[in-house]
Structure 1
Amino acid sequence: MELTQRQKLIFRTIVERFTCTAEPVGSKALMELLDRPLSSATIRNEMAVLEHAGLLEKTHISSGRIPSQQGYRYYVENLMETSLPSAVRGTLRDIFMERQYSLEEIVRIASDVLSEMTSLTSIVLGPDASAQRLQHVTMVPLSGSSAVALFVTDTGHTENKLFRFDEDVSLKDLTTCTDLLNSHLKGIRLDCIGGHLEELKPLMAAKLARSEVLYEAFAAAFMNFAAEKMAVSGRSNMLAQPEFSDVNRVRKLMKILEDSDLFNAWAHQATNVAVPIGTRNELIQIGDCSIVTSKFRTCDQEEGRLMVVGPNRMPYARIIAVTDAMSDVIEEIFGTDKKGGRQDEQTQKAAAGTRAGEGKAGGNRSGG
């Protein structure tokens, strides 16, 4: 059904009003909100047409109307206007460009910032690196008891890990260990490295004075590198939404958000409705919950996802604008110079940044 301009105006006003108040919108309230004079009878007639079209629903407790699931989809696809002040975009860029963050840190920070800016629950999934293959390992000693390892995959993905050893490890051991890893593990998928590293353990024992210390450090580092990077923020924001006043329901939802397998199963149910928004964003409706997603790429073969979870009654225009801007910034940090120029720069700066962080709280730039 093609709506008239008057119907679009009334419908958009109802959606935006209900988003702010969570209260059904009646004809008298609309008379005061609309920017053109319309009688209460005319507004009621148009609301009846919108309800018949499936865009509005009538509640049991009021003569007012609220948007339906279909109505929200129509709003997002046809009426929504996204915009974000340049100052907000600049603030996002300043946050993420403050220093040389690892991808793991970016995932955590993006989740926190997204939740803070939307007052909803946010989930950030970093790129799945498990199928990538190790290309190179570099070890930079900082002291006898610490070093930073730089890992590079065949896609150009680079991560750094700060090691703090319980015992001093010699420069010779670090060099020999790095040579062993590069000669025996190059080209191995990250999710298979654990088994290959176990096979390499006897050779490490024969060649390294501190073989056990180095083996444990690298085993943990590779496991972390291959693990799915997921961060959830703003869980308590669910409690502020009237749609989630049922504590048992919120508890169930929290459990889903805490487990990536449960969340993926929940988000990909056959009964869900998914609406593409441009080439990057998507709206997923799951009953009276909605998920706004935005993809970001860190290199040609890596894709992560920003997500905001909340009631169907959420400010879609602002949320989509924020997630889109955040995706732009992340891609600017990790996705520029697809041939690896940005990654090379990260590799060169990682050791210097870690040295600068020594003595500060934790001193660990990669969160591990």
Structure 2
Amino acid sequence: MEITQRQKIIFKTIVEEFTRCAEPVGSKTLMELLDFPVSSATIRNEMATLEKLGLLEKTHTSSGRIPSQKGYRYYVEHLMEADLDVSTKNALQQVFSERHYSLEEVVQKSCDILSHMTNLTSVVLGPDSRHQTLQHVQLIPINNQSAVAIIVTDQGHTENKVFQFGTDVSMQDIQNCTDLLNDQLVGTPIENVVDKMKEIEPMMAAKLVRHEVLFEAFVSAFMRFATEKVAVSGRSNMLYQPEFSDINKLKQMMRILENGNLFHQWTDQEGNVAIQIGERNELLQIGDCSVLTTKFHYNSDEEGQLMVVGPNRMQYSKVVALMDYMSNVIEDVFGTDKNKGGANDEQRRK
């Protein structure tokens, strides 16, 4: 699609003003926002041309224009300038450098930050570990009633889990349990570990004094490990979006966000429009909703996704820049270096 430089500037201004204030943009507003002299009549003619091209739409309640679905796609592909200010970059770096986070904590923390900084709903998907195999288990005592379990898969995925036993467990029991689990479970697919543990429970009962406590703790840990890691944050932000003023529409969206299967069905339905943004970002349009996704890596084999869900009228440049940079920060936390999305080491240090 070929449009003139002036039309690009006018269109870009309309998109960014509408995403900011949620009000249709008219020629008088544009005259104040544009940094070059142009008459109201000329602006109206350009807006009419952009409407014919399918990039703008009229509303019933105003003479102004709003971007169409096609318009948002054009903006994201051709006009968007995604960048974050240095203070935001430093704040994100600081959050994740304060302490060592487990995978589960990183997923939840990322989700909370995204929803807070975008005022939208965020979804973070961690890697699916079910089809990996167990490579090593280590149980490190903290005191007589607690220990840290370290679970490692064949793909280098590591999970830490603190066990509170509620009763004294001897050092000998902890050592014997660790040896038994490594002897019997190594090489077992994560999704089958719980069933395998049930098979070896009689062996645990024969070798461990507190076998019931240790058995229940590890079964619980492996069940959590084998489930897809999903975090959702900022559902209530939907309440403040004019596009969700219809209570039935809002209720339906809340149900989708609270149910992983419904969410996948919603994003996978026929008729959705997806466009690629750079190497690892994607915009998915579902009716009057948009889902922005950014991929990130925990290691060379495992991939996760950051997602932001909101109306088509969202500040794409800010959201994409935030998600892209956060992905880099997460990869730094786990020591990966995919250099996706054009970021380099010098940018990450800023």
TM-score, normalising length from structure 1? 0.90
Map residues 249-328 of structure 1 onto 2, 5 A cutoff. 249-328=249-328
Q: Does 1:128 align with 2:132?
A: no
Q: Does 1:192 align with 2:192?
A: yes
Q: Does 1:233 align with 2:251?
A: no
Deviations 1:279-320 (A, max 9, x none): 111111000000111111001111111111110000000000
Deviations 1:146-197 (A, max 9, x none): 1111111111111111111122111111111111110111011111111111
Residue 160 of structure 1: SS of its match in structure 2? strand
Q: Distance in 1 between matches of 2:136 and 2:126?
A: 21
Residue 291 of structure 1: SS of its match in structure 2? strand
Moved over 6 A (4+): none
Deviations 1:95-136 (A, max 9, x none): 011101101001111111111111111111111111111100
Map residues 350-365 of structure 1 onto 2, 5 A cutoff. none
Q: Look up the equivalent residue of 1:199 and give its one-letter code.
A: E
Q: Distance in 2 between matches of 1:256 and 1:173?
A: 45
Q: Distance in 2 between matches of 1:242 and 1:194?
A: 47
Q: Distance in 2 between matches of 1:37 and 1:191?
A: 65
Q: Look up the equivalent residue of 1:210 and give its one-letter code.
A: R
Q: Distance in 2 between matches of 1:270 and 1:178?
A: 49
Equivalent in the alignment of 1:366: none
Gaps of 5+ in 2: 339-350
Equivalent in the alignment of 1:246: 246
Equivalent in the alignment of 2:83: 83
Deviations 1:1-55 (A, max 9, x none): 2010010011001101111111111112111111111111111111111111110
Equivalent in the alignment of 2:9: 9
Q: Is the 8 A contact 2:120 2:310 kept in 1?
A: yes
Deviations 1:307-352 (A, max 9, x none): 11110000000000000010000000114389xxxxxxxxxxxxxx
Residue 57 of structure 1: SS of its match in structure 2? strand
Q: Distance in 1 between matches of 2:193 and 2:270?
A: 35
Q: Distance in 2 between matches of 1:164 and 1:98?
A: 25
Q: Distance in 2 between matches of 1:98 and 1:295?
A: 23
Q: Is the 8 A contact 1:135 1:186 kept in 2?
A: yes
Q: Is the 8 A contact 1:84 1:321 kept in 2?
A: yes
Q: Look up the equivalent residue of 1:14 and give its one-letter code.
A: I
Map residues 174-213 of structure 1 onto 2, 5 A cutoff. 174-213=174-213
Q: Is the 8 A contact 1:297 1:335 kept in 2?
A: no
Equivalent in the alignment of 2:51: 51
Identical residues among aligned pairs (%): 62
Equivalent in the alignment of 1:95: 95
Q: Is the 8 A contact 1:121 1:235 kept in 2?
A: yes
Q: Distance in 2 between matches of 1:142 and 1:126?
A: 28
Q: Distance in 2 between matches of 1:101 and 1:28?
A: 51
Please, what is the CA RMSD of the aligned residues?
A: 1.1
Q: Is the 8 A contact 1:54 1:68 kept in 2?
A: yes
Deviations 1:212-265 (A, max 9, x none): 111100000001111111111111111111111112211110111011111111
Residue 329 of structure 2: SS of its match in structure 1? helix
Q: Distance in 2 between matches of 1:205 and 1:77?
A: 61
Q: Distance in 2 between matches of 1:135 and 1:304?
A: 21
Q: Distance in 2 between matches of 1:90 and 1:280?
A: 22
Q: Is the 8 A contact 2:173 2:209 kept in 1?
A: yes
Equivalent in the alignment of 2:32: 32
Q: Distance in 1 between matches of 2:224 and 2:97?
A: 24
Map residues 108-123 of structure 1 onto 2, 5 A cutoff. 108-123=108-123
Q: Distance in 1 between matches of 2:234 and 2:333?
A: 25
Q: Look up the equivalent residue of 1:244 and give its one-letter code.
A: F
Residue 20 of structure 2: SS of its match in structure 1? helix
Q: Is the 8 A contact 2:297 2:336 kept in 1?
A: no
Q: Is the 8 A contact 1:10 1:30 kept in 2?
A: yes
Equivalent in the alignment of 2:21: 21
Equivalent in the alignment of 2:333: 333
Residue 299 of structure 1: SS of its match in structure 2? coil
Q: Distance in 1 between matches of 2:251 and 2:64?
A: 31
Deviations 1:76-102 (A, max 9, x none): 000000111122111101101110110
Equivalent in the alignment of 1:364: none
Residue 298 of structure 2: SS of its match in structure 1? strand
- Report how many residues are paired: 338
Equivalent in the alignment of 2:151: 151
Equivalent in the alignment of 1:137: 137
Residue 8 of structure 2: SS of its match in structure 1? helix
Q: Is the 8 A contact 1:136 1:186 kept in 2?
A: yes
